[in-house]
Structure 1
Amino acid sequence: MGNDATFVNLSDVKARKVEWLWEPLIPIGMITILEGDPGLGKSFLSMHLASVVSKGRRLPDRCKLAKGNVLYISAEDDASYTTRPRIDAMGGDPSRIRVLNDWIEFNDGGLSILEAEIEEFGPDLIIIDPLVSFVPTEARGKDPAAIRGLLHRLTNMVADNDCAIVIVRHLTKMKQENALYQGGGTIDVIATARSALRLAADPDDPEKKVLAHLKHNIGPRGPSWVFSLVPSKRAGDIPVVKFSGRSDLTVDDLQGASGGAGPKPREAADDFLKRYLGDGSRKANDSYEAAKREGISKRTLDRAKQRLGVRSRQKTKTWYWSLDQG
């Protein structure tokens, strides 16, 4: 006879459709990772999401949320001096947001406290910023099995309570060729997540931040979004998140721009055009296709075209590009 506590017949499993807090970036009942270098605005973006959920406002794709509760667990921001002023500046509802009042470690005892809080408060979104601060010291980077167990328990908590969870982490200093491996901690973190988001500076405009979809196991890859940190209308000295639309920059573009393997997207696009147009004019559409095969986006190529003064000419309804000025 089988062990029904560990295994179950698939016929007894109810098929379910994935539900979303922000489709297709943040699923409900599963782990989402938000990662990026320090100082780029991960915490600002996390608080922005908390504010949007607490007030039932619109996401960047114009989808309107119902008002919800948020459990905001931060090790890096003081609730009085940082979290509350920022949430107020962003127009959030602090009565729907609960924060840490004491220290907690994600050992068995701490996870039991967290589970009880989730069941009592009923959050629609949980934010942990950053995860590594709450991992028991003896398990950090040394005990993959303990990390897997912790993540498995977090997954069960959010699945049982139908809420979304966003786990924040920094990137490693050692640059990786594959963007999936750039995040800090063990590989189990990204492996357990069903969705992962990469935050980076726009390589052509560092004042702008790009949020790109790094991992998408349960749906299509979502578009990249651009936002800036601007002075609040409520509190002018506190920056708030302002989204300005979509970007065609990909995770690979951002990985290269951050100094990973290979040239930066800007340099790669400039070099491509010099090589591709070096022997004479080429069809514009062919140029885009060739650049795409080298991992260069249309937006990046268009900016390189402008920087290099590439000339566009139309012949019999077809556009051609050339580097010459004749």
Structure 2
Amino acid sequence: MSSESERAVLGTLIFKPNYLDSVDIDESLFSTPLNKKVFSLISTIWETDRPEEIPLAVLNDRLMDGTRSDYVGNLTTGLQSYSLDRFTQCVNEVRRAKELRLIAAALDKELRLEVKTGNPDHEAWERIFRKIDALRTIESKGSDPVLRRLSEIDPQPILWAWPNRIPRGKLSLIVGDPGLGKSFLCVDLAARISTGRMWPDLSERSAIGSVLLLTAEDGLADTVVVRAAAAGADLSKLIVLEGITKKGEARTFNLGKDLPILERVIKDTPDLSAIFIDPISAYLGDLDSHKNAEVRGLLAPLSALAERANVSIIGVSHLNKSTASEKAVYRVMGSLSFVAAARACWGVIIDPEDPDQERRLLVPVKTNLSVKPTSLGFRIIDGRLEYESQPVRIDANEAFSSKREDREQRSVAESWLREILQAGPQDVKDIMKQAKSEGVPGSTLYKVCDRLGVIKRRQGFGQFKNSTWELGMREAQ
């Protein structure tokens, strides 16, 4: 409790240093030399410059120890509130923890003294027990419940980026197998937000705003910009977070430790409406995406940030290979905590009834805040996404059921293989290796070869045998 409260106090002071004028606090309350030093630096910067926020770069420089920069940055991660009331509560917890340390030290001294004398008398034991009672009292004070009456909370309407589909201030997910157009869908949504265009299912325009893109799989120059332009986006309002630089070295953005940087980006972009993270698995760092506790620990502060900033955060994810469950929510890759944390989850599938396998369906997998949302059909035509005018009536569990799995899996494999072979003949071993890394079953690839008109060639014998696949003339055009 002590270390968490100290971190909350220091993290809040980074964003709200003016609280130093409202609450009596000094460095003696902190338990570690590092926290004492950070507090002292914050106090000095506040007294000298009176900034609205403490610049992290300045704080890091004055610490004069690069190994501590991540620690300072992480002080602001996971803060649920910057309010003065919450700050005061944390300061009181730190103050009680200090009292606890003092009593513990006194108790330790008393015990050592009595043990040294070899035969503590009755009065000595009474003193020890009184100190233990005081210790317990202080410890219980540090665990006060946080209570709030509902009558004290003003009701607020749910705000929407895309009405009844993508809420503002919440985390949402878009899930589906590779190659079905999830990234196209994100670019289309970003384009509508950037220009204030009509939503495909409503006679209502989007509020105009900027959009932040985190994209780990598509090239910016040859894919993202091209698709955004084709979608009619205002490119000046689409911002890409390419990574993080530190002392001249670049690295990938990490949701676990870089939320303070993301919050800074949000504050520096006042009209920011949405953030797309495609795919979310690329920004987890060393976190195990299959462990519920780790995923919850990461998504809770991300969801809190979305709510504080009133920004829609949309993560993109793939599906797992399991067909054992008929529930769509269990098909999302990784821990169930991803779906649990999201207030809306939308699935993208191929319409198994479409003979050309070109029609996609956007189906509601989970919608906590929506009122009976419908599915939507769309196609990707000439490098842009085009919606159908009429809604589609299909249940997500039906759409993701194992009865459709074989047909859908073949369709996904067919699209994937066609894209791979567009570059020319490919070694079958290389194809299978890449397919395994991307979750495309090799057995299914063999099944779709005839449909694609794949030409299979073999050269050599024995250990020198080499097999290649290439598209027939019709598919290659």
State TM-score, norm by structure 1.
0.73
Matches within 5 A, 1:24-173: 24-62=164-202, 63-102=204-243, 103-108=252-257, 110-122=258-270, 123-137=272-286, 139-173=287-321
Could you tell me which of 202, 217, 220 is aligned with 2:351? Answer: 202
Q: CA deviation at 1:107?
A: 2.1
State the SS of the aligned residue for 1:83: helix
Post-superposition Cα deviations, 1:108-151, rounded to whole Å, max 9, x if no partner, equal 2x1221111112113101111111110022x1235422211211
Supply the AA of the counterpart residue of 2:211: V
Identity of aligned residues (%): 30
Could you say which residue in structure 1 is the equivalent of 2:335? Answer: 186
Could you say which residue in structure 1 is the equivalent of 2:68? Answer: none
Change (3 A) 1:158 1:112: same
Contact kept, 8 Å, 2:363 with 2:396, in 1: the verdict is yes
Contact kept, 8 Å, 2:327 with 2:401, in 1: the verdict is no
- Structure 2 Cα separation of the partners of residues 258 and 40 of structure 1: 19
- Structure 2 Cα separation of the partners of residues 4 and 50 of structure 1: 44
Contact kept, 8 Å, 1:203 with 1:257, in 2: the verdict is no
Change (3 A) 1:10 1:90: same
Supply the AA of the counterpart residue of 2:232: G
- Structure 2 Cα separation of the partners of residues 64 and 71 of structure 1: 20
Contact kept, 8 Å, 2:326 with 2:397, in 1: the verdict is no
- Structure 1 Cα separation of the partners of residues 161 and 368 of structure 2: 16
Supply the AA of the counterpart residue of 1:225: L
State TM-score, norm by structure 2.
0.51
- Structure 1 Cα separation of the partners of residues 290 and 373 of structure 2: 33
Could you say which residue in structure 2 is the equivalent of 1:319? Answer: none
Of the structure 1 ranges 183-192 and 211-220, higher mean CA displacement relative to structure 2 is found in 211-220
Supply the AA of the counterpart residue of 1:130: P
The CA RMSD measured in Å over matched residues stands at 2.2
Change (3 A) 1:258 1:211: farther
Q: CA deviation at 1:6?
A: 4.6
Change (3 A) 1:162 1:174: same
Pair 1:211-2:359 in alignment:
no
Matches within 5 A, 1:246-325: 246-256=391-401, 259-260=404-405
Q: CA deviation at 1:70?
A: 0.4
- Structure 2 Cα separation of the partners of residues 40 and 251 of structure 1: 16
Post-superposition Cα deviations, 1:184-207, rounded to whole Å, max 9, x if no partner, equal 110111011111111101111121
Pair 1:227-2:378 in alignment:
yes
Q: CA deviation at 1:250?
A: 2.2
Supply the AA of the counterpart residue of 1:213: P
Contact kept, 8 Å, 1:59 with 1:65, in 2: the verdict is yes
Change (3 A) 1:66 1:218: closer
Post-superposition Cα deviations, 1:3-61, rounded to whole Å, max 9, x if no partner, equal 78954333332221111111211111111111011100000000000011001101112
Change (3 A) 1:248 1:257: farther
Post-superposition Cα deviations, 1:169-225, rounded to whole Å, max 9, x if no partner, equal 000011232111100110111011111111101111121111011111123220110
State the SS of the aligned residue for 2:401: helix
Could you say which residue in structure 2 is the equivalent of 1:242? Answer: 386
Of the structure 1 ranges 245-254 and 194-203, higher mean CA displacement relative to structure 2 is found in 245-254
Supply the AA of the counterpart residue of 1:216: T
State the SS of the aligned residue for 1:247: coil
State the SS of the aligned residue for 2:200: coil
Contact kept, 8 Å, 1:37 with 1:171, in 2: the verdict is yes
- Structure 2 Cα separation of the partners of residues 230 and 219 of structure 1: 29
Change (3 A) 1:6 1:98: farther
Contact kept, 8 Å, 1:132 with 1:140, in 2: the verdict is no
Aligned length: 254
Q: CA deviation at 1:2?
A: 9.1
Contact kept, 8 Å, 1:34 with 1:197, in 2: the verdict is yes
Could you say which residue in structure 1 is the equivalent of 2:109? Answer: none
Q: Which has the higher contact order (CA 8 A, sep 6+)?
A: 1
State the SS of the aligned residue for 2:254: coil
Change (3 A) 1:77 1:4: farther
Pair 1:14-2:154 in alignment:
yes
Contact kept, 8 Å, 2:376 with 2:387, in 1: the verdict is yes
Post-superposition Cα deviations, 1:225-251, rounded to whole Å, max 9, x if no partner, equal 0110001xxxxxxx1000012111221
Contact kept, 8 Å, 1:177 with 1:260, in 2: the verdict is no
Q: What 5-or-longer segments of structure 2 have no aligned partner?
A: 1-140, 244-251, 409-477
- Structure 2 Cα separation of the partners of residues 27 and 172 of structure 1: 25
